[in-house]
Amino acid sequence: MSATPVAGTEPMSHRQILEALSGLLLVLFVAMLSGTVVSTALPQIIGALDGSQTQYTWVVTATLLTATASTPIWGKLADLFDKKTMVQVAIVIFAIGSVISGFAQSAGQLIAARAFQGIGVGGLQALVQVVIAAMIPPRERGRYNGYLGAVMAVATVGGPLLGGLIVDTSWLGWRWCFFIGVPVALVALFVLQVTLRVPSTRRTDVKIDYLGAGLIAAGVSLLLVWISFVDGSFAWISWQSGAMVGGSVLLLALAVLVESRAAEPVVPLHIVRRHTTALAILASVAVGMAMFGGAVFLGQYFQIGRGYTPTEAGLLTIPMMAGVLGASIISGRMITRSGRVKPYIVAGTIILVLGFAALGLIDHETSLVLVGGAMLLVGTGVGMTMQNLVLAVQNTVPLKDIGAASATIAFFRSLGGTIGVSVLGAVLARDVQERIAGGLAAAGVPATGGGSGSLNINALPEVVQNVVRAAYGDSTGHIFMISACIAVVGVIAAVLLKPVTLRSSLDLAEPARPEAKTGA
């Protein structure tokens, strides 16, 4: 009975929606900024903390991992508690994590602080979609997705530029890359308190599946630890590999078992098993790799592989963000006009593959015009797919399941990004190490290990610097070609989606009765 009053019969006016969206867009901006402001500054940060390539990857992976693990819990909490309160709690956690990150004294401390910050990021990335779905019907949502795309583009373009400027400004320093998000988060907290009015019903018989969430987090974490250290600390075929992979499979299998029996599962299997949701999950993995891998490794490519400053690296990523901005706004408006979402998702995934394939051909001497064109394709692909995959799934579920459905897609997109960054980072580290060893040998320089273990490139002799930069520049193309192959899965999933016309109502009219059967 609670679903009916939540859906409501009085649609919000365009002005009311924009007022409510103002705070939500600030929240989205904060979440995006937390990753992008660090992307171009990260080589400098890890260099200052004397960290390694593996730690470089884990500064990003730690946030993604905890965000991934917590996303479905936030989505379920949004279905059970007041959505506005949940968003505000996520903002507070994010702000605290940002402050702790800014005071980190070592790469290990920074990784731990970023992991805590990721819990808040997980809430923000899931709850913004949930609240918007509770206010706007799917057909009209495409129109407002353009605003989301614009904010994403500003955060993603402005973040690297801001991070570069902060690092390059002597009286600020890299720590302000983390502190800068705190005032924005506090402003978002205030704006949401004033503008956001989302009807919701609090249930007293709440049962959160913490066991399932814990098993999922543990299973994924163990797999990522194995990916990071295999072929370095131990061999592919070893007892360590067997224990980690076997343990990860066992934990994830137990998670599926727990989720199938839980009263309130964090990842509802009846939603995951649906045709549209299952295919959207596959496509979201590819989009997750594009979003996170592109931002993380392109910043490193421009700075370490090409020798540009953090500010210049931020400027050089503008083509990708221009693609995200243009594609999300244009496709959003066209979807609202036609009510059809599949053609844009299919086109977006194909463009994504082409962009990755083009980036797969770059090396440390590739023309910046060609690199920019490839990034524009990747950005266009992300802009046409990311929000629209969530929209396609939201269209198939009743309002009472919007939180779980939205969080499920965000969960797997984040999981794809987490695994993608970890796998690609591990491949990059191995490839770079081999290229540096070969380059030093060819130059007649004794390999001391310092060149490959630390990212403090400027502290190295000029000859070694040239070898290291060439190694990073040439290896980056290799990991993007792997991304192109994985992104093909997204194309297949998008093609298999059923063509539907988006509904114009907030809630499903007919599925109210079949739900009683589902529980039986």
Q: Is there a single domain that holds both residue 24 and residue 143?
A: yes
Give the distance, in angstroms, between the CA of residue 514 and the centroid of all CA atoms in the same chain: 34
Q: Is there a single domain that holds both residue 290 and residue 370?
A: yes
The Cα 217–Cα 247 span in angstroms is 13
Asked whether residue 504 is domain-assigned, the answer is no
Q: Is there a single domain that holds both residue 234 and residue 325?
A: no
The Cα 224–Cα 487 span in angstroms is 20
Q: Is there a single domain that holds both residue 92 and residue 113?
A: yes
Alpha-carbon distances of 25 from 32, 195, 197, 493, 505, rounded to whole Å: 10, 12, 15, 29, 23
- 3-class DSSP state of 503: coil
Q: How crowded is residue 85: how many other Cβ atoms within 10 Å of its Cβ?
A: 14
Q: Is there a single domain that holds both residue 258 and residue 295?
A: no
Q: Quick one: tokens of 411?
A: 């969960």
Q: Is there a single domain that holds both residue 434 and residue 469?
A: yes
Asked whether residue 201 is domain-assigned, the answer is no
Domain limits for position 259:
209-263
200: left (phi > 0), else alpha (psi -120 to 50), else beta? Answer: beta
Q: Is there a single domain that holds both residue 153 and residue 225?
A: no
Q: Is there a single domain that holds both residue 244 and residue 362?
A: no
Quote the number of domains for the chain: 2
Please say whether the beta carbons of 420 and 440 come within 8 A. no
Q: Is there a single domain that holds both residue 299 and residue 377?
A: yes
Asked whether residue 508 is domain-assigned, the answer is no
Asked whether residue 517 is domain-assigned, the answer is no
- Label residues 320-356 b or e (16+ Cβ within 10 Å = b): bbbbbbbbbbbbbebbbeeeebbbbbbbbbbbbbbbb
User: Which of 303, 80, 41 has its CA nearest to residue 181?
Assistant: 41
CATH number where 491 lies: 1.20.1250.20
Q: Is there a single domain that holds both residue 270 and residue 256?
A: no
Tens place of pLDDT per residue across the chain (520 aa): 333 334 444 556 677 777 778 888 887 888 778 777 777 778 788 888 877 767 777 887 788 778 877 777 787 777 777 788 888 899 999 999 999 998 988 888 999 999 999 899 888 877 887 788 777 776 676 667 667 766 766 776 677 778 778 888 878 888 888 888 888 888 888 888 877 776 655 555 656 777 887 888 788 778 777 876 776 677 778 888 899 989 999 998 998 898 888 877 777 787 777 788 788 888 887 777 766 766 678 877 888 888 888 778 878 888 887 888 888 888 878 887 887 888 999 999 999 999 999 999 988 888 999 999 999 999 899 888 877 887 787 777 776 667 667 777 777 777 777 777 777 877 888 888 888 888 888 877 775 544 444 556 666 777 887 888 888 888 888 888 888 888 888 899 889 988 877 656 555 554 444 444 444 3
pTM over 0.85: no
Q: Is there a single domain that holds both residue 111 and residue 23?
A: yes
The Cα 7–Cα 448 span in angstroms is 65
Q: Is there a single domain that holds both residue 244 and residue 308?
A: no
